[in-house]
Structure 1
Amino acid sequence: MIIDDHEIVRRGIAEIVDRADGLSVVAEAGSVAEAVRRAELVRPDVLLVDLQLPDGTGIDIIATLREKVPDARPVVLTSFDDDDALASALNAGAKAYLLKTVRGAEIADVIKAVAAGRTLLDERTVTRRRADHEDPTADLTPSERKVLELIGDGMSNREIGDRLGVAEKTVKNHITALLSKMGLQRRTQVAAWVAGQRAAGWRS
Structure 2
Amino acid sequence: MSDQTPPPIRVMLVDDHEVVRRGIVTVISSHPRLEVVGEASTVAEANRRLPAIRPEVLVVDLQLPDGTGLDVMRRAREVEPEQTILVLTSFDDDAAVRESRESGAAGLVLKSARSQEIVDAILAVHGGGSIWPAGHESEEPELSPSDARIVELIGDGHSNREIAEQLGIAEKTVKNRITVILQTLGMQRRTQVVAMVAARRRAGWR
**Shorter-chain TM band:** 0.5 to 0.7
Write out per-residue CA displacement over residues 98-142 of structure 1, whole angstroms, 9 at most, x where no aligned residue.
111111101111111111222223432226x3xxx53389559xx
Greater fraction of residues in helix: 1
Runs of at least 5 residues in structure 2 that lack an aligned partner in the other structure? 1-11, 150-200
Q: How many residues align?
A: 141
Aligned to 1:110, the other structure's residue is in SS state helix
| Counterpart Cα distance in 2 of 1:57 and 1:110 | 21
Q: Which residue of 122, 141, 152 corresponds with 1:134?
A: 141
| Counterpart Cα distance in 1 of 2:83 and 2:132 | 18
Matches for 1:97-108 after TM superposition, within 5 Å: 97-108=108-119
**Conserved in 2, the CA contact under 8 Å of 1:110 and 1:120?**
yes
Specify the alignment match of 2:134 in structure 1: 123
Q: Which residue of 54, 66, 78 corresponds with 1:55?
A: 66
Quick check: 1:180 aligned with 2:204?
yes
Specify the alignment match of 2:14 in structure 1: 3
Per-residue deviation at 1:21?
2.0
Specify the alignment match of 2:34 in structure 1: 23
Greater fraction of residues in strand: 2
Specify the alignment match of 1:171 in structure 2: none
Runs of 4+ in structure 1 deviating by more than 4 angstroms, as ranges, are: 136-140
Write out per-residue CA displacement over residues 20-70 of structure 1, whole angstroms, 9 at most, x where no aligned residue.
121000000000111111111110000110001011000111112111122
Runs of at least 5 residues in structure 1 that lack an aligned partner in the other structure? 141-176, 183-204
Identity across matched positions, percent: 43
Aligned to 1:62, the other structure's residue is in SS state helix
Instruction: Report the CA distance shift for 1:136/1:6 in structure 2 as closer, same or farther (over 3 A).
Output: farther
| Counterpart Cα distance in 1 of 2:22 and 2:144 | 39
Per-residue deviation at 1:180?
2.3
Aligned to 1:26, the other structure's residue is in SS state strand
Q: TM-score, normalised by structure 2?
A: 0.63
Instruction: Report the CA distance shift for 1:137/1:98 in structure 2 as closer, same or farther (over 3 A).
Output: farther
Instruction: Report the CA distance shift for 1:135/1:21 in structure 2 as closer, same or farther (over 3 A).
Output: farther
| Counterpart Cα distance in 2 of 1:80 and 1:88 | 12
Instruction: Report the CA distance shift for 1:12/1:38 in structure 2 as closer, same or farther (over 3 A).
Output: same
Per-residue deviation at 1:3?
0.3
